[in-house]
């Protein structure tokens, strides 16, 4: 099989920006997107006219976004608002830059799900399973977590460690939405939604936008901030077993293993080399599945692995240092990717991982994707 190994360290992230996160009923997707774009452009030191590639994600209409920003790119890609799309989009942008299709690509993600009262279930996402009352990505993850509990003896108190660690990080993040301290008991006593999952196993729903600007590592040398390199990337989709949306009877273990082989081989690093993990956390069990699928622990052992604050700052594997989707912001992977960049630049203040040189982004989903970033 061919690989992307020859693209190791060829493309860099040179600008990142985000809006405040929260409830903004009077702001449109385009207004939020423009704010994030302006912040990322300043961060990069590029001039607007130098942006010749555009990726939009969850933006209602890519052309309107380009119109608002006054851009006529020579390469544009519009992606739907699914969490799996962030990693996919960044890899696509890497390929576009390396192929010569674009020099400087702006990737813009916008989300107004909070102020527009998105439900993520019921009539928002009709499916063949509606007559039996089954709906929502959260319930699909509850199904998988029940299987994990039964197969491996994983407990909800172990699962709570994920939410508690990320909340500790959010408290250190000025941008984060949820800053109320949380204990394992708080998690256990929270309102059940789709049991065995409870409210504190669920991601937030909030408004906001994120922008990243990518270019070649060569061009990145002359820009404002130290470049952060895309050192590894990989992916594998699982469509054949997707009859139940957001569910996989094997928790995407095979796809995660395949993706991890690709990303580690391309980057030339392994789990032991990773200083911080940015792990897609639509629901807390996804983190456990990711830790196993990407070789941070053995299959079935993620519950014990996360005990004792291992994922918290100061622990052996600081994970989602911005607070993740559970406590920072529901930016569907995008906020985690800009947190990766900021950690590698050393810009994270009191939540900075000391000596951070390798950051690993993981999204274990029906389109599993992974990216390893390093400092140039």
The residues, ordered by sequence, that sit 6+ positions from 201 with a Cβ below 8 Å of its Cβ are 138, 141, 159, 163, 187, 193, 283, 284, 285, 326
Contacts of 373 (CB under 8 A, 6+ apart): 13, 228, 229, 230, 231, 340, 341, 344, 358, 359, 360, 361
Binding positions for other proteins, rule: CB under 8 A = 119, 121-123, 126-136, 139, 142-144, 146-147, 150-151, 191-197, 240, 243-244, 247, 249
* Rounded Cα distance, 200 and 198, in Å: 6
DSSP conformation class of 262: H
Which of the following is catalytic: 280, 296, 361, 373? 280
Contacts of 8 (CB under 8 A, 6+ apart): 231, 232, 266, 267, 268
In angstroms, how far is CA 141 from the centroid of its own chain?
17
Q: Which of 71, 238 has the CB closer to other proteins? A: 238
- Nearest to other proteins of 226, 300 (CB atom): 300
Indicate if 152 belongs to the active site: no
Q: Considering the candidates 21, 330, 361, 373, report the single residue annotated as catalytic.
A: 330
Q: How far is the CB of 228 from other proteins (least distance, A)?
A: 40
Query: Are the CB atoms for 376 and 273 separated by under 8 Å?
Result: no
Closest distance to other proteins from the beta carbon of 197 (Å): 8
Nearest alpha carbon to residue 281 among 244, 301, 316, 306 = 306
Whether 278 and 319 have beta carbons less than 8 Å apart is answered as yes
| 131 or 355: CB nearest other proteins | 131
Q: Which is nearer to other proteins, 13 or 251 (CB)?
A: 251
In which element (H, E) is residue 143 found? Answer: helix 137-152
> CB 242 → other proteins: shortest distance, Å?
10
| Least separation in angstroms between CB 39 and other proteins | 36
Q: Toward other proteins, which CB reaches closer, 172 or 238?
A: 238
Active site residue 109: no
C-beta of 191: minimal distance to other proteins in Å? Answer: 7
Nearer to other proteins, 6 or 191 (CB): 191
**Torsional sign, CA 288, 293, 236, 54:** positive
The residues near 230 (Cβ < 8 Å, ≥ 6 apart) are 7, 9, 10, 11, 12, 13, 90, 94, 214, 371, 372, 373
CA distances from 112 to 2, 33, 175, 199, 208 (A): 39, 11, 17, 21, 7
Cβ atoms < 10 Å from Cβ of 115: 16
Shortest reach from residue 294's CB to other proteins, in Å: 23
Return the active site residues: 280, 330
């Amino acid at each position: 099989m061919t690989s992307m190994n020859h693209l190791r360290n060829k493309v860099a992230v040179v600008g990142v920006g985000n809006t405040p996160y929260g409830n903004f009923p009077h702001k449109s997707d385009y207004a939020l997107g423009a704010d994030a774009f302006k912040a990322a452009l300043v961060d990069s030191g590029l001039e607007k006219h130098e942006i010749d590639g555009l990726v939009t994600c969850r933006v209602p209409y890519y052309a309107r976004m380009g119109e608002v920003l006054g851009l006529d790119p020579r390469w544009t890609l519009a992606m739907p608002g699914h969490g799996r799309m962030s990693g996919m989009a960044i890899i696509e942008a890497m390929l576009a830059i390396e192929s010569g299709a674009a020099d400087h690509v702006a990737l813009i993600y916008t989300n107004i799900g909070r102020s527009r009262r998105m439900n993520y279930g019921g009539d928002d996402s009709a499916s063949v399973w509606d007559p039996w009352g089954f709906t929502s990505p959260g319930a699909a993850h509850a199904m998988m977590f029940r299987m994990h509990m039964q197969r491996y003896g994983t407990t909800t108190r172990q699962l709570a460690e994920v939410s508690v660690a990320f909340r500790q990080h959010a408290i250190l993040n000025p941008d984060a939405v949820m800053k109320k301290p949380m204990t394992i008991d708080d998690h256990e006593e929270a309102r059940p939604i789709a049991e065995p999952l409870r409210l504190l196993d669920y991601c937030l729903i909030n408004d906001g936008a994120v922008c990243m600007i990518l270019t070649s590592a060569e061009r990145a040398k002359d820009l404002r901030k130290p470049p952060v390199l895309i050192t590894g990337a990989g992916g594998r989709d699982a469509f054949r077993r997707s009859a139940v949306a957001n569910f996989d009877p094997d928790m995407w273990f095979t796809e995660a293993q395949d993706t991890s082989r690709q990303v580690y081989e391309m980057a030339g690093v392994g789990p032991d080399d990773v200083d911080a993990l940015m792990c897609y956390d639509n629901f807390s069990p996804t983190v456990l599945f990711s830790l196993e699928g990407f070789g941070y622990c053995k299959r079935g052992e993620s519950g014990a692995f996360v005990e004792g604050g291992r994922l918290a700052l100061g622990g052996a594997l600081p994970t989602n240092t911005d607070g993740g989707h559970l406590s920072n912001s529901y930016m569907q992977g995008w906020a985690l990717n800009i947190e990766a960049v900021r950690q590698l630049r050393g810009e994270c203040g009191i939540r900075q991982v000391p000596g951070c040189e390798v950051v690993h982004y993981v999204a274990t989903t029906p389109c599993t994707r992974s990216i390893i970033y390093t400092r140039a």
